[in-house]
Structure 1
Amino acid sequence: MYLADEAWPDLESYFESESLALVPLGSTEQHGPHLPEGTDHIIAESFARAAAEETGYLCTPTVNIGVSSHHRQFHGTMWADAPAFRDYVESVTRNLASHGIDRVVYVNAHGGNVEHLREVGRRLRDDGTMYAIEWMWDESITERIEELFETPGPHGGPKETALIQHLAPELVHEDRIADARDGGLAEFDESTGRVHGARTFYDAIDTTDNGVFGDQTDASADAGAELFTAALDHLCRLCDWLDDQRFDDLLPKGHV
């Protein structure tokens, strides 16, 4: 069920019988010369709506702009400052609590949002409002990604390229994929951008000229379909697990 498509009287039965909602979140930021700036929110919404359709849980509208100031040098990138993002997400999540939702899955597709969603989840849990947990699609299938791609890339790489080739192929500039690899940072490891153990970079452009990492030429729509199916299965199972938990068991433990 997609909340924004429903009339309010038709949502009453859901809130009477269910207490879980999926909230998709992404970003609007550069993803190299070959992918749309909406890559992350397209992916997040696709997962959330597919999971809602498969499980019957409620999916909310998508938060399309995230914490992305580290991509600000590239045309069109939009971002929210971290405190404003946290406060906004917390506010809209508390809206759901007013209707009886007491557990939320943040279906997230942007790495820059992760720590802030964890912080919001902690706030909501600590005051007993609800249990909100962050889910990142690629973290649920890390082994499969490593099997498919030699250099998956943390941003704009073959894993995201493959998903958009599957979900929105008309938005992929196929003729620029080799340029994405050649103008970005195809090869990297844990030492990239570090000096004597210190992380020296703040922005994407500090380490990659065109904003992306990895070898995008490894991507394909078939690989994207495989990734989507595998990660969606994890998301649906996470929702079912969370729905089965006693709410009191999800709250903070008492002081020892």
Structure 2
Amino acid sequence: MRLQHATWQEVEAYLEREKGIIVPIGSTEQHGPNGLVGTDAICPEAIAWELGERHGVLVAPTQNLGMAQHHLAFPGTISLRPSTLMAVLRDTITSLSGQGFSHILFLNGHGGNIGTMSAAFAEVYAERSMRTGPQPAGELQLTTFNWFLGPRVRELAESLYGDAEGTHATASEVALSWFARPAAVKQVDMSPRIAPRGSAQCDAEEFRRRFPDGRMGSDPSLASVEHGERFLEAGVADLWEVYRAFVTSP
């Protein structure tokens, strides 16, 4: 069930029986020679949409822009400042919690978002705890799940790609994005086959010097649409396990 395809009456009826919602969040950034700029948003969105269809869970619109400043030297990347992303997350949470959603799970597709999301959650909890006067109604639970770190996804990536999986523009995320958007498949020779490894803690110009084609330790030429379907199944299984535990936690 997708929030943007529902009427407000349908959402109200959902809230009478369920209080949980999934918010896919990713980034708009370069993903190497054969990866889509939208990869980090497409992947969690595909997993969340599939889970929503199978299990009747409401899925919010995808937050497509994230904290991607280190990729800005590559055309097509759009980044929010950490402070901007925190404000977007806080307003999203405030909107949903004010309507009765008590368990909000952000399904994340971009490692660069993790620190900012944790800070945003801390701000929300602090505001609720330190408010004077009328207190917010009801409980509020927030959590993040990074689809690419799920146990089934990690096991599959290791079995298919080993050390060639890498840490950015990975074969697994390229494969999943291709399954979700098969018309966008691109076959490109990689040189070197496995990209350099290193840290992304730098400014955009330095990042491009370290990783000239945008990859980090990966060989995404190994990706395929068939692999992407397997990653979707693994991702849905990982997410469903986490989501059920989250919404039933005391």
Q: Same fold (TM over 0.5)?
A: yes
Residue 135 (structure 1) aligns with: 145
State the AA in 1 paired with 2:180: L
Question: Amino acid of the residue matched to residue 208 of structure 2?
Answer: I
RMSD: 1.9
Cα distance in 1 between the residues matched to 2:201 and 2:111: 18
Segments of structure 1 that go 5 or more residues without pairing to the other structure are 194-198, 247-256
Query: Equivalents in 1 of 2:201, 2:125: separation in Å?
Result: 34
Q: How does 1:29-40 map to 2 (within 5 A)?
A: 29-40=29-40
Once structures 1 and 2 are overlaid, which stretch shifts more, 142-151 or 85-94? 142-151
Calculate the TM-score normalised by the size of structure 2.
Answer: 0.87
> How far did 1:22 drift?
0.3
Change over 3 Å in CA distance of 1:32–1:5 after alignment to 2: same
Contact residue 20 and residue 101 of structure 1 kept, 8 A: yes
Residues 71-80 or 139-148, more deviating: 139-148
Whole-Å Cα distance in 2 between the matches of residues 220 and 64 of structure 1? 24
Match of 1:165 in 2: 178
CA distance 1:161–1:38, shift in 2 (3 Å): same
Count, aligned residues: 234
Q: What's the offset of the Cα at 1:185? A: 5.4
1:187 deviates by 4.8
Is residue 235 of structure 1 aligned with residue 239 of structure 2?
A: yes
Question: Secondary structure at the residue paired with 1:73?
Answer: coil
1:12 correspondence with 2:6? no
Query: Hey, what does 1:208 align to over in structure 2?
Result: 211
Structure 1 residue identity aligned to 2:183: E
Q: Which amino acid aligns with 1:244?
A: T
Question: Helix, strand or coil: the match of 2:22?
Answer: strand
Is the contact made by 2:196 and 2:210 (CA closer than 8 Å) also made in structure 1?
Answer: no
Residue identity over aligned pairs, in percent, reads: 26
Q: What is the Cα deviation at residue 15 of structure 1?
A: 1.2
The TM-score with structure 1 as length reference comes to 0.85
Mapped partners of 1:119, 1:51: distance in 2 = 27
Distance between the aligned counterparts of 1:207 and 1:244, measured in 2? 45
> Structure 1 CA distance, aligned partners of 2:172 and 2:95?
34
Q: Deviations over 1:68-89 (max 9, x none)?
A: 1110001111011011101111
208, 213, 226: which one aligns with 2:230: 226
